[in-house]
Amino acid sequence: MKLFLSLSGVAMIVILGAFMSIQKKQRVIFFGDSITQAGVQPGGYITRIGQLATQAGSAAAFDFVGAGIGGNKIYDLYLRADDDVLAKSPDVVVIYVGVNDVWHKRSSGTGTDADKFVRFYEALIKKLQVKGAKIVLCTPAVIGERTDSSNEQDGDLNLYSQMIRDLASRNSLPLVDLRKAFLEYNKQNNTGNKESGILTTDRVHLNDKGNQLVADEMWKVLKGI
């Protein structure tokens, strides 16, 4: 009788352990700048990803967390990764940065040179990987929405986006190519060659359509993780 009770208890522990394992949510932390800071607000891209997960019947599988701070560049992310990301025990970290590294070169003279951008980005990847987090990289979308390559910083933005693509390839990481997605969308929908108002409010920050496009592109990757 005692043996039966003992075996029953073991079986119950195994069943409960399996159930808890199945129910464990994947914590996804979105790590970035003001675009990500706004992403947790109503209509923001992180909120919309949550809605997409709900529509897909996957809401119980994820815990979506925003960790964006306005004005941040790649070295800011590296310096606050321990406190703002790793301390929250992420399963997945989505790195969405690069706009300020390019934009601030002209606007305030405090951007990030290309070689330093790659070194800090690589160091950030390694810091997160040591703790076992899965990582998703994203290219920066736009600094101006004109479709004729006349946005002042298109060249740099293309360069930094390619560096992120290369980082994803070298480290075998999934990539959300927002730069490509935004260029393609504007080519089809910005027939008036407007500077903003198609996917952004001010050439950089996202309007409703921009937030939805980012959410759609990120969800394509996240739902398969």
Other Cβ atoms less than 10 A from the Cβ of 121: the count is 25
CA nearest to 171, candidates 123, 99, 214, 224 = 123
- 95 within domain boundaries: yes
| Contact indicator for 138, 176 with CB cutoff of 8 Å | yes
Sheet holding 134-138, edge to edge: 62-68, 26-32, 92-96, 134-138, 175-176
pLDDT in tens, 146-165: 999 999 999 999 999 999 99
pLDDT in tens, 183-211: 999 999 999 999 999 999 999 999 999 99
Look at residue 23 in the predicted model and tell me its pLDDT. Answer: 62
Look at residue 110 in the predicted model and tell me its pLDDT. Answer: 86
Domain of residue 158, residue span:
27-222
- 22 within domain boundaries: no
- 199 within domain boundaries: yes
Look at residue 33 in the predicted model and tell me its pLDDT. Answer: 98
Q: What is the mean pLDDT of the chain?
A: 92
Give CA separation, 71 vs 36, 60, 112, 202, in Å.
Answer: 11, 32, 12, 15
- 21 within domain boundaries: no
- 33 within domain boundaries: yes
Higher pLDDT, 135 or 15: 135
| Contact indicator for 98, 140 with CB cutoff of 8 Å | yes
189: buried, middle or exposed (CB in 10 Å: 19+, 13-18, 0-12)? middle
Give 87's contacts (C-beta < 8 A, 6+ positions apart): none
- Average pLDDT on 213-217 reads 98
Look at residue 103 in the predicted model and tell me its pLDDT. Answer: 95
Q: How far apart are CA 161 and CA 155, in angstroms?
A: 10
Please state the domain count of the chain: 1
pLDDT in tens, 4-45: 445 455 444 444 444 444 568 999 999 999 999 999 999 999
Other Cβ atoms less than 10 A from the Cβ of 204: the count is 20
Give CA separation, 138 vs 12, 99, 103, 147, 166, in Å.
Answer: 43, 11, 17, 21, 12
- 2 within domain boundaries: no
- 71 within domain boundaries: yes
pLDDT above 90 coverage of the chain, percent? 86
pLDDT band at 117 (very low <50, low <70, confident <90, very high): very high
- Average pLDDT on 131-141 reads 97
27: buried, middle or exposed (CB in 10 Å: 19+, 13-18, 0-12)? middle
- 175 within domain boundaries: yes
Q: How far apart are CA 104 and CA 54, in angstroms?
A: 37
State the pairing for strand pair 134-138/175-176: parallel
Look at residue 22 in the predicted model and tell me its pLDDT. Answer: 55
For residue 125, give the CATH number of its domain.
3.40.50.1110
Give CA separation, 6 vs 13, 20, 62, in Å.
Answer: 11, 21, 35
